[in-house]
Amino acid sequence: MKPINKHTGIVAPLDVENVDTDAIVPKQFLKRITKSGFGEVLFYNWRFEDGNENPEFVLNQTEYRKSSILLARKNFGCGSSREHAPWALEDYGFRVIIAPSFADIFYSNCFKNGILPIVLQEEEVETLFRRTKQNPGYRLTVDLETQTITDEQEFNTTFEIRPYQKSQLLQGLDEVGATLIHDDKISSFEKDHKIYY
């Protein structure tokens, strides 16, 4: 998992409320057995029509093709708890998602897959939508260490994050990786507490 410290990227505005995990990764793609390659099917039913790109969809528009920050509306990631949703977002290239609220399981899954989900007030999100639409190629800088978000037009705000989740992202560790940091202690404990069957 790639660590996140300070990230500057183009913002893609997804102006839809209650985006569920089936919209993020449609069910027909859940049979894949690896975590990679899901970026190509991200928002598949919105990005494509009869196999061709839908020019109206935000990620198919030239100014947003290289975006790495997704700006969304409330209750992003609702629906089923499929972990494929953050897999697809990360594989596509998104490192940060900003929204007024997230579905709980999706929010938790983001941290396990190298994505920083940020909750901001609706008024702040509205400001960012307005600036993104008025300024093609609009960029934000997200500093996880200081928990700040800034742009080049004097936008400046802070966000909350739990210390453990912050530490995970700063170090690029999922839960298994965080456990393996203590591998020597685990091995020592196992050695001293052998179980005989």
Domains of the chain: 6-192 (3.20.19.10)
Contact 91, 44 (CB under 8 A): no
| Host H or E run for residue 48 | strand 48-49
Residue 100 pLDDT more than 60? yes
Question: Which pLDDT tens digit goes with each residue over 114-163?
Answer: 999 999 999 999 999 999 999 989 999 999 999 999 999 999 999 999 99
Model-level pTM greater than 0.85?
A: yes
Tokens of 142: 């997200």
Question: Which pLDDT tens digit goes with each residue over 31-71?
Answer: 877 888 999 999 999 999 998 999 999 999 999 999 999 99
pLDDT of 182: 46
Q: Dihedrals φ, ψ of 134, to 5°?
A: -85, -20
Tokens of 112: 């396990």
Residue 188 pLDDT more than 50? yes
Partners of 186 in beta bridges:
none
